[in-house]
Structure 1
Amino acid sequence: MYRILLVDDEPMILKGLSVFIQQSGIRISSIRLAANGREALQAIGEELPDFVFTDIRMPVMDGLSLCEAIAKQEYPVQTVVVSGYGDFSYAQACMAFGVREYLLKPVAKRELADTLRRLVQRAEKQKPASAYLSVAKMDAWLERFDQAIYYMNRSQVQELLEEWRRETSAFQLQERQKAEMLEEFHGLLVKKLRAREMNIELDDSLELSPDSTGEEAFGRFAERIGQTMDRLYRKRKGKWKDPIEEAKHYIERNLASEVSLEEVADQLGLHPNYFSVMFKQATGETFVQYRTKRRMEYAKRMLGEESHRITDISYAVGYADHSNFTKTFKKYEGISPSEYRQRLGI
């Protein structure tokens, strides 16, 4: 996404350039306007643009002085001079200040598109490797934060936040750009967490002000993560363990009850559909298959103790209907409960 600053004292010129640029097809983050060089320098100080298009003849501060100021400040921007035919000698003077592009008024749409293409090509070649997060790296960060938050690993979250701060502090971005990057990352993280259907409130935005610094954005980002983990903690009734292990323990404690998938999902603060898929991926079995297996294994242990009647055992593993218990046990073990006891010599 590219930030563009247009500088000209003629409103119609600014409007025409803005429309042409928007129609060019390049990825644009913002297009800002300035009526003279002084306004342009103020705008550059507030938010560093990638490309500056400036007229030569303007009141207060002309384009030549603006190009000189940009060069002296060593702003990492590409400047394009836009001027009339009679000002070509001034445009040539701008070349001494690193200006490599020149457009003649009236600007033709095709010439502007070609200029933009060259600007983008240079920007991509010159962009430092540490100045942005690649898509692959962004995905890796998202995955790490997502896992740490979901499993409520606060120490790991803290480590990730500190690592993020160290890495992004080296980025060659202005404060506002760092804030925007964090806002974008937060939005992607919320989207990823929502896919887990955790049934908790998630804040869509960091709610940053236009003049927020990167440090302020980082503080709000860390605060949002803390709030998310607190909500998840409360939803899970204070449980900090692996949700799958917690589900197994819950089933084990309630073998005598007709525990449903929806009930366990609610205990964990998960959407039933998501919990069903996650449980199958983790155990290789459906919720019902796992619950039945645990019931039958418990029933086998009880059948090995002569003091338990088979009817009592069926109730103990959640079967009010004795015949249903016998049918399920035989399907699971290959023999009936009474035959199983006979093999044990009971």
Structure 2
Amino acid sequence: MHILIVDDEMIIRNGLKNMMLSYSKPFTSIRTAENGEQALAFIAEYPPNIIITDIRMPRMDGLQLCKRIHEIYPFIRVVVISGFAEFEYAKQCMAYGVKEYMLKPVVKKDIHEMLDKLLPAMEKGVVAPTHSKKWLDEMTEHIWQLRLPDLDKCLDDWLSYCGERTDHPQQLNELLEDSFQAVLDRLQDKGHQYTGIAAAAIEKNALTDGKQSFRDKIHSVTDELALRRGGFKDLMTEVRAYIEKNIAKEVTLEEVANLVGLTPNYFSLYFKKTTGVTFVNYRMTKRIEAAEQLLAQPHYRIVDVAHEIGYEDYSHFAKTFRKVKGITPTEFRSKLGIK
């Protein structure tokens, strides 16, 4: 649980922090900010679970801060502290989702009672051990047995359950990260060591969606296990044969990944790792190699060669041929003595 205290007076900030530290349950972090602007910078860096803010502050007051939090971070619980004379002003915060007020002067008993009220509802992010063990054991077994439909159903149930436990993105991400590590630990006990080759790409592509990132990482574990059991060499033989058989078609990475039962992201990574080139460049090179064989036959017109390998636009074909071979199709034929 992360707390942020916002007040322009250092003595009050430190006093509130000490009151929080004396609470019966420890907090992960308690940060302090001098005004609304500094608070927003801290929130952007790491969103807290609870913000306790004064109303009267320079640069950006508590009302403005509540408005910005409501617009950008509606999952944060905000507690407003105000003097009696400011109470009507503080009530405007209701429009911004604030439901907790404390009148100055605030004492330790007030802080502890406020926490007693807020924390039980917010601690729903803690998953019951019996629930987590059941789902994580099932998920691990589905991965181990490569039961993909069952795995996807289990993933849907688990992500739905976790989403119901908290609406705080950071808390949800931490919960899912712990879940992912728990699955890896279970698989390691079975003898599978995850290399994490796809993890960096997954995190880069899904920073804003913790649920999708978790789903992708679980799929990457399944893909890796399937590859180890089936052998990537045989899989690549099937991929190459499919591309050559459909040389004139716009074969997509997603299409081929589905053919061999892998997720597109993971297939792309392993394809490049194995061949040294991207899927798109490999397919393009194979097309041009097929074009070379046809161009070596004098009875084929160059425009017909382009159509034969899937290029409806001749200029696009000529440009691609030059990109791969360094010369135009006409120059290639001239070198073969074909006019």
Counterpart of 1:26, as a letter, is K
In structure 2, relative to structure 1, the CA distance for the partners of 1:172 and 1:24 (3 Å cut) is: closer
Judge conservation of contact 1:183–1:217 (CA < 8 Å) in 2: no
Counterpart of 1:160, as a letter, is C
1:181 partnered with 2:180: no
User: What is the identity percentage for the equivalent residue pairs of Structure 1 and Structure 2?
Assistant: 25
Counterpart of 2:191, as a letter, is M
In structure 2, distance between residues paired with 1:3 and 1:188: 24
1:89 partnered with 2:85: yes
Give the CA deviation at 1:198. 1.8
Give the CA deviation at 1:52. 1.6
Q: Deviations over 1:41-96 (max 9, x none)?
A: 5655676543220122211111233345556779354332335xxx3321453234
Q: Which of the numbers 135, 139, 150 marks the counterpart of 1:141?
A: 135
**Residue number in structure 1 paired with 2:272:** none
In structure 2, distance between residues paired with 1:109 and 1:231: 59
- RMSD over aligned Cα, in angstroms? 4.2
**Residue number in structure 2 paired with 1:80:** 79
In structure 2, relative to structure 1, the CA distance for the partners of 1:120 and 1:219 (3 Å cut) is: closer
In structure 2, relative to structure 1, the CA distance for the partners of 1:222 and 1:199 (3 Å cut) is: closer
**Residue number in structure 1 paired with 2:314:** none
Judge conservation of contact 1:68–1:94 (CA < 8 Å) in 2: no
**Residue number in structure 2 paired with 1:101:** 101
Counterpart of 1:38, as a letter, is E
In structure 1, distance between residues paired with 2:173 and 2:121: 25
Counterpart of 1:55, as a letter, is D
Q: Deviations over 1:195-220 (max 9, x none)?
A: x35263576xx675895532552355
1:161 partnered with 2:155: yes
Judge conservation of contact 1:182–1:221 (CA < 8 Å) in 2: no
In structure 2, distance between residues paired with 1:188 and 1:27: 24
**Residue number in structure 2 paired with 1:65:** 64
Aligned length: 224
Give the CA deviation at 1:231. 7.5
In structure 2, relative to structure 1, the CA distance for the partners of 1:213 and 1:19 (3 Å cut) is: farther
Give the number of the structure whose residues are more often helix, by fraction: 2
Counterpart of 1:149, as a letter, is I
In structure 2, distance between residues paired with 1:21 and 1:121: 16
Q: Secondary structure at the match of 1:192?
A: helix
Judge conservation of contact 2:23–2:112 (CA < 8 Å) in 1: yes
In structure 2, relative to structure 1, the CA distance for the partners of 1:42 and 1:211 (3 Å cut) is: farther
Structure 1: gaps (5+ residues): 239-346
In structure 2, relative to structure 1, the CA distance for the partners of 1:213 and 1:114 (3 Å cut) is: same
In structure 2, distance between residues paired with 1:102 and 1:153: 54
**Pairs within 5 Å for 1:113-262:** 113-121=112-120, 123=122, 134-164=128-158, 173-194=167-188, 196-198=189-191, 200-201=193-194, 212-215=208-211, 217-218=213-214, 220-226=216-222, 229-230=225-226, 233=229
Judge conservation of contact 1:103–1:112 (CA < 8 Å) in 2: no
Structure with higher Rg: it is 1
In structure 2, distance between residues paired with 1:9 and 1:224: 48
Give the CA deviation at 1:118. 1.9
**Residue number in structure 2 paired with 1:4:** 3
